Structure 1
Amino acid sequence: MLDEGSVISYLNERGLISGNATVEVLTGGVSCVVLAVKSAERELVVKQALPELKTKAKWVADQRRAIVEAEAMRVYQSITPDSVPELIDCDEANFTLTMSRLPNTCTNWKQDMLEGRIHPEMGEKLGKVLAQWHNTTAVDSAIKAKFMEGELFEQLRVSPFYRAVADKNPNLQQVINSLIEEITTEKIALVHGDFSPKNILATPDHSPIVLDFEVAHTGNPVFDLAFVSAHLLCKTIRTQSEAEKDALATTALNFLNSYRETSRISIAKSLPLHVALIALARVEGVSPVNYLDEPAKQRLVATTKSALLDSTMTFEQLFEGAK
């Protein structure tokens, strides 16, 4: 595995830089080593997939996801070049990607929201980007064929989020199994699979740049819609500020409405159930969020379990209940 001491010689061997450079360790979440490298010629980010994710519960995932990520980046970059970093190199033997580093004027969307910097227009712009991705890939049979394998999605999303919650809640197993069926058998478009605020940077004019494509797969677009919405739901429940709650709920509604206006794919009626389940998994699944205190966790569990038992609850009602 690459580290601060070896990455410069690695990049020199790959012909991506020449000579010395400075190295900075970036936050790679739980799944990757991520290093920023600045040479005389360019600024790069090097990302290498870990064989075992850094979570309290054991979570092993195939390092081939790095190759999937490179292929997905190329697809998404071709559709929305301003919303995806430039891929410079893919080293399949070492499961390593090298990409251009984004300007330091960009901020992490998750951190922005946790610190009270909530700009609902981010939701609107993000919905349009996602709809463009889904629209384009839904009608491209070659792209869909390339990403048809579902094993990585099972390892990284279905098992730790859906099945883990089902194992802990026998009374929810029927509804969860139906949701699993929906996201694993309906092959509609290229799905990002990790459409989360931590993987989205905000430019100074509040436009999104999306990162981390290793869970990309041909599947049901409802998963992308639900994944980011679940994070917004968690953050709505977390804050005690009424103004922040309103702004976060508005961001979520802007996102969904913008997606609906741009998308040529109908939104699944099950969306609120997927949102509730993924949010619940951030407390009861393999990868819990680290920003909810105990009262907030209890409110989230109560809100989401109630929604999972009520098939009539709408997206708007789910967020209204989170206030």
Structure 2
Amino acid sequence: MSDQSIIAALTRLHLAQPGETVTLTPLTGGVSSDIQLVETSARRFCVKRALPQLKVAAVWEAPVERNAAEAEWLRLVYGWLPNLVPALLGEDREAGLFAMDYLAPEDHPVWKQHLLAGQVDTAFAALVGTALGVIHRRSSTEPGLPARFANDVLFDALRLDPYLRATARVHADLAPALIDLAETTARTKLVLMHGDVSPKNILIAAHGPVLLDAECACFGDPAFDLAFLLNHMLLKATLKRDNPAPYLAAFDAIAAAYLAEVDWEDRAGLERRSARLLAGLLLARIDGKSPVEYLVEDTDKTWVRQSARHFLLNPPDRLDPIRMHWMTRND
């Protein structure tokens, strides 16, 4: 999409004035969208447009309608918890883009960068767990959300297929377990999911976390969001194998804070689904379409692969066995 087309869309949204000088600067970091910093004479904000082909090595196509799904998620969650997400400033569905507040990186560092640098704040991790739990809890009773976020095709293309089914094609002996995880997740419809609760999509603000990039938003299984987030703590504990304890403490803080919010279903059942999904997602970040980029040592990849295989073949009922297993590594 040309700069002039973007500026024309912003003019239609009354975010730029006709004939006004508008500067567009590409922002880096994502693989699924083009994001531009927009500067006008009056303000700075971001504009985001989904890409049909993700910027990864594998062929990974996804419907661009996910841009509208993310805008709808931002609109809804901002109404509940305005400090938790950027404000949505406007949306042009015909152009396939939306505009939102720009949160300057000097005031809103990315949580992933802190974690990779060894800066692990368990209190912040707990706030993330609480925030996710509150979104799920509030959405579980909100009228009309199942129809409003019936984005199963998007979620399948962005998550179930590239993570679980793609991994099943690599590990034939585990295919029944991985396909069952995908099918169970697909048919479980309980809350509004974010779908990509990753530290790269969470900013650290003075008041707490800010969640971004809800392109996978759909009404579905809360266990997926919890497992997806906890997976990142274990992967970083793998990277920091000389001192995994802070990441495992963050794992515990997230799980405890999140589960404390669960009242829409039996906690034990949710934890069981999450623990089993966690095993599948661990393996997916090694052998699926979106391998984790910071695990470059073969010993690290082998550890995750073997650990995930063990728990896929011996499905846990709780998160603790997986978390405790990460404390046993000695290589």
1:279 and 2:278 equivalent? no
Which residue of 192, 202, 210 corresponds with 2:204?
202
Which residue in the other structure is 2:47 paired with? 46
- 1:206-285 equivalences in 2 (<5 Å): 207-242=208-243, 245-265=244-264, 266=267, 267-285=270-288
Matched position secondary structure for 1:319: helix
Preserved CA contact (<8 Å) 2:271 2:317: no
Which residue in the other structure is 2:77 paired with? 76
- 1:281-300 equivalences in 2 (<5 Å): 281-293=284-296, 294-300=298-304
TM-score, normalised by the number of residues in structure 1: 0.93
1:180 deviates by 1.4
Whole-angstrom CA distance in 1 between matches of 2:241 and 2:191: 38
Matched position secondary structure for 1:311: coil
Which residue of 152, 159, 162 corresponds with 1:160?
162
Whole-angstrom CA distance in 2 between matches of 1:162 and 1:53: 17
Pick closer, same or farther for the CA change 1:10–1:71 going to 2, 3 Å. closer
Give percent identity, aligned residues only.
31
Preserved CA contact (<8 Å) 2:150 2:218: yes
**For structure 2, which runs of at least 5 residues remain unmatched after alignment?**
none
- 1:8-19 equivalences in 2 (<5 Å): 8=7, 10-18=9-17, 19=20
1:304 and 2:308 equivalent? yes
Which residue in the other structure is 1:322 paired with? 326
TM-score, normalised by the number of residues in structure 2: 0.91
- 1:29-40 equivalences in 2 (<5 Å): 29-40=30-41
Whole-angstrom CA distance in 2 between matches of 1:180 and 1:50: 24
1:174 deviates by 2.1
Matched position secondary structure for 2:46: strand
Aligned residues: 319
- 1:68-107 equivalences in 2 (<5 Å): 68-104=69-105, 105-107=107-109
Query: For residues 125-168 of structure 1, what are the alpha-carbon distances to aligned partners after superposition, in whole Å with 9 as ceiling and x for unaligned?
Result: 01111111111111123112211231001100000001011111
- 1:133-212 equivalences in 2 (<5 Å): 133-204=135-206, 207-212=208-213
1:88 deviates by 0.6
Matched position secondary structure for 1:141: coil
Deviation above 4 Å: which 4+ runs of structure 1? Answer: 5-10
Whole-angstrom CA distance in 2 between matches of 1:240 and 1:28: 26
Whole-angstrom CA distance in 1 between matches of 2:43 and 2:35: 17
Preserved CA contact (<8 Å) 2:151 2:217: no
1:9 deviates by 5.5
Preserved CA contact (<8 Å) 2:194 2:214: yes
Which residue in the other structure is 1:127 paired with? 129
Whole-angstrom CA distance in 1 between matches of 2:183 and 2:152: 13
Preserved CA contact (<8 Å) 1:109 1:197: yes
The range that moved more, 84-93 or 99-108, is 99-108
1:230 deviates by 0.9
Whole-angstrom CA distance in 1 between matches of 2:180 and 2:7: 48
Whole-angstrom CA distance in 2 between matches of 1:63 and 1:90: 14
Preserved CA contact (<8 Å) 2:282 2:308: yes
Q: Aligned Cα RMSD in Å?
A: 1.8
Whole-angstrom CA distance in 1 between matches of 2:271 and 2:183: 13
Query: For residues 39-97 of structure 1, what are the alpha-carbon distances to aligned partners after superposition, in whole Å with 9 as ceiling and x for unaligned?
Result: 33111011011111111111111111111111111111112111011001111012101
Matched letter for residue 315 of structure 1: L
1:313 deviates by 6.3
**For structure 1, which runs of at least 5 residues remain unmatched after alignment?**
none
Whole-angstrom CA distance in 2 between matches of 1:2 and 1:137: 37
Whole-angstrom CA distance in 2 between matches of 1:132 and 1:9: 38
Whole-angstrom CA distance in 1 between matches of 2:172 and 2:309: 12
1:312 deviates by 3.2
Whole-angstrom CA distance in 2 between matches of 1:166 and 1:233: 21
Matched position secondary structure for 2:86: coil
